[in-house]
Structures are given as structure tokens and as C-alpha cells.
Amino acid sequence: MNTENSSPFGGGGGLYIHIPFCKQACHYCDFHFSTSLGKKEAMIAALKRELELRKSEFATENVETIYFGGGTPSVLELGEIHDLVSTVYKHYKVADTPEITLEANPDDLSLQKIQALAKSPINRLSLGIQSFFDTDLKLMNRAHSADEASESLKNAVRHFDNISIDLIYGMPDMTLDRWKKNIEKALSYGVPHISSYALTIEPKTALANFVDKGLIRPASDELAQEHFHLLYETLLQEGFICYEISNFGKPGYFSQNNSAYWQQKKYVGIGPSAHSFDGIRRGWNIGNNPKYIKALEKGELPMETETLSTKDKYNEYVMTGLRTIWGVDVTRIQKEYGEKFKDYLLMQSKKFREEGLLVLEENVLSTTKKGKFLADGIAADLFMINLS
């Protein structure tokens, strides 16, 4: 544990605030959250305390982005959001036009709430739509219905220009046709940003249990890959850019918060289970609401940190670089990590370049269209495991 005067990070960048509450547990989710909102007030007090205690980490730079993630930040009342944002402004130097995102679930977004949010400092909404079909939503145990998904999005695009929606593909029994309809429906609302992930069956989730009992069969890798390619082709035709494998934005609508994260910029994570990174060290807060609150009540930061080795930093850069349009800059590898890392990268990537999965252009290594869906596996092959 770090106490008030030994905050481990310095610098500036993005501020992530984790709201660890959800109305119900989605069957696929392994994030940190509680379905009991009983401690919401104490949690907000603790978040405010952590914001205050860690203000020195932005002593020299502006906060460029503020991101309310979760959990489900839309369970917050408007007054609570204002309270947290004013705490940020009170203790931090915030950029003139910061991107301030709120993740929201359709069942929390009445027209009234959307209108009020539009007048608040929140200027970007990220909606957890996941699917426009009740079959999928029920399987995932989402708290909203297909009608609520459509209604909230219809209202949201009227009041917010900068909107992102989440969609999940590769679900059990999801035909290519149903996935196509999901994409078309999303596009019909004119959203400028879509985040889309393949459903993964995480250990210890309800979904993993259903699979173990033979109640459902996960979609095959081939089908998930077909879903991805359909998404990719359709969105590119519609003027989106796939700037990260799971993120598609129209020009001017990339998530500034996430882009900074993928470009290894600094971020400070506030709240239980939130992670932080300052270019040298990574930190993570305790993922337990009562313990988090208790520590902050005592003026302690319930955070552990580790200093990244050169190998860790190289591996992280290769992983995120290959997932994004910015690729992996070989000159940077040489400069920051040394000749041995550069030689290793070029040697390991040779077979993927010959197979047309990677391309090296102007000394930047990136995935081709064919290699995109396989980026994580390719990156793992380029990782530095041992270096004497």
C-alpha cells in the first residue's frame, strides 16, 4: 500500500475513473463490479479522496481526457457525475477541451437523462448496446432489451455528436445474417464510432459454466473470423477507419482516451481495480470495493506497482502496435530497446511478412488485412521471452 505522500506516478495524460457497480451480472463478464449499490455514496467519497491524493501525478501536465468506465458509470446520478468532474477540475489542470467519456447502458438512458447528460461536462457517450436482438441479449444476461437498445441510441444521437457503441460478435448461434443486421442497424443511426469485440469465454463466468455443462457451444474461430471480416469490409466502405482491431471510427472520432493508451501514453486509473501507467511503472488498485473504501478512508492508496523491464515494454509495444494503424516503429524499437530487440523483431516477423500477414513499410511493421484478425497470435510469436 502507498500512503498519501508516496504516490508512485508522475507526469500527465488521461484520467480513468472506474465505477464498480452494475445492475446485474452479464454472463460473459469478468470485470470488477458489484451488483449491490449500497456502498455507492461511500465509493464516490473514496473516488474523490483518491483523486485528491493523486493530484501530484499531473503536477506538470494537463489532464487531456477523462473516462468514466466500469462497471456501469450510467448508474450514477447526474449530481454524482458533476461532483466527480468538479473534483477533477478542483485538483487537476485540465486541458481546454478535454474529451470526457461516459460508458452507459441503454436501460439507464431515459430521454430525460440523455438530455441532462448533454448539458453536463460529458461530451462523449459510449453505449453498451452489444446486440439489437433479444436472443443475444438474453444469452448474455444484459439488463436491457433490443427495444431499449434502439430507443436509447435513437435519443442519444439526437443529443450527442460524439457517440460510440459496443457490439459483440462470435456469439453462440449467431448467424452471419444476424450479425449483418446488427451492423446495418448500427449504421442506420449514423454513429461515428463502433467498438466491436469477439465474445470470449472467460474462466469462472456463467458462460464458461454453460459451455462446461454442454448447454451452449461457443462459435467456431472460423465463424468469428467471418464476422470480423464482414464488420471490417462494411465499416471501411462506410468511411470508418479500423484504427485498432476492435475499434472503428470516422475521421475525427477516434477515442482520444484509448488512442493515448495504445500509444503508451500515461494514464492514471482511479477506483477499485483501475490500472495506471506512467511509461516506466504500471500500477493497479485493489479490486475489492469495501477494502478500497476502507483504505481511502485512512488516506492510503490501495495500489500495487511494478517497474516494467525493457522486455515487458517491448512486448507491450509489439502487442498494442500490431493491433493499431500506428504499427510497430522499428526505429523506435532500436532507439528505446536496443539493437538486439530490433534484430529479434525483424527475424521473428520474417515468416509472417512472407505469408502476407505483416508488412514492413518505411520501417514500420503492421498487420495486413489478412493478418488483422490474427494480430494477437502473431504478436505473441514476436514477444521476447528470454534475452541474455
Q: Compute CA distances 228 → 90, 234, 253, 257, whole Å.
A: 43, 10, 21, 24
**From the list 13, 16, 17, 33, which residue makes contact with ligand SF4 (rule: CB under 6 A)?**
33
Taking alpha carbons only, the member of 37, 45, 52, 63 closest to residue 7 is: 52
**Residue 347, exposed/middle/buried by CB under 10 A (0-12, 13-18, 19+)?**
exposed
Q: Residue 139 has which C-alpha cell? A: 444469452
Check residue 118 and report its DSSP letter: H
CA atoms of 6 and 54, how far apart (whole Å): 9
Least distance from ligand SF4 to the Cβ atom of residue 279, Å: 28
Q: Indicate whether 231 belongs to the interface with ligand SF4 (CB under 6 A).
A: no
Q: Indicate whether 249 belongs to the interface with ligand SF4 (CB under 6 A).
A: no
Per-residue interface string for the shown chain with ligand SF4, residues 77-106, x marking contact by CB under 6 A = ----------------------------x-
Per-residue interface string for the shown chain with ligand SF4, residues 107-146, x marking contact by CB under 6 A = ---------------------x------------------
Least distance from ligand SF4 to the Cβ atom of residue 380, Å: 25
Per-residue interface string for the shown chain with ligand SF4, residues 41-70, x marking contact by CB under 6 A = -----------------------------x
Select 25 or 78, whichever has its Cβ closest to ligand SF4: 25
* Count, residues near ligand SF4 per rule CB under 6 A: 11
**From the list 11, 31, 39, 238, which residue makes contact with ligand SF4 (rule: CB under 6 A)?**
31
Q: Compute CA distances 215 → 61, 171, 212, whole Å.
A: 52, 14, 8
Q: How far is CA 30 from the centre of its chain?
A: 14
Select 72 or 349, whichever has its Cβ closest to ligand SF4: 72
Q: Indicate whether 152 belongs to the interface with ligand SF4 (CB under 6 A).
A: no
Select 2 or 72, whichever has its Cβ closest to ligand SF4: 72
**From the list 71, 271, 302, 327, which residue makes contact with ligand SF4 (rule: CB under 6 A)?**
71
Per-residue interface string for the shown chain with ligand SF4, residues 284-313, x marking contact by CB under 6 A = ------------------------------
Q: Compute CA distances 267 → 1, 66, 132, 226, 360, whole Å.
A: 19, 10, 33, 34, 30
29 phi/psi in degrees, rounded to 5:
-90, 135
8 phi/psi in degrees, rounded to 5:
-80, -15
Least distance from ligand SF4 to the Cβ atom of residue 139, Å: 13
Q: Indicate whether 22 belongs to the interface with ligand SF4 (CB under 6 A).
A: yes
Least distance from ligand SF4 to the Cβ atom of residue 166, Å: 9
279 phi/psi in degrees, rounded to 5:
95, -20
**From the list 26, 296, 301, 345, which residue makes contact with ligand SF4 (rule: CB under 6 A)?**
26
CA atoms of 110 and 337, how far apart (whole Å): 50
CA atoms of 195 and 262, how far apart (whole Å): 14
CA atoms of 319 and 383, how far apart (whole Å): 8
Select 26 or 345, whichever has its Cβ closest to ligand SF4: 26
**From the list 29, 42, 230, 346, which residue makes contact with ligand SF4 (rule: CB under 6 A)?**
29
Q: How are beta strands 241-244 and 247-249 bridged, if at all?
A: antiparallel
Q: Residue 378 has which C-alpha cell? A: 502473431
Select 126 or 257, whichever has its Cβ closest to ligand SF4: 126
Residues of this chain that interact with ligand SF4 (CB under 6 A) are 22, 25-26, 29, 31, 33, 70-72, 105, 128
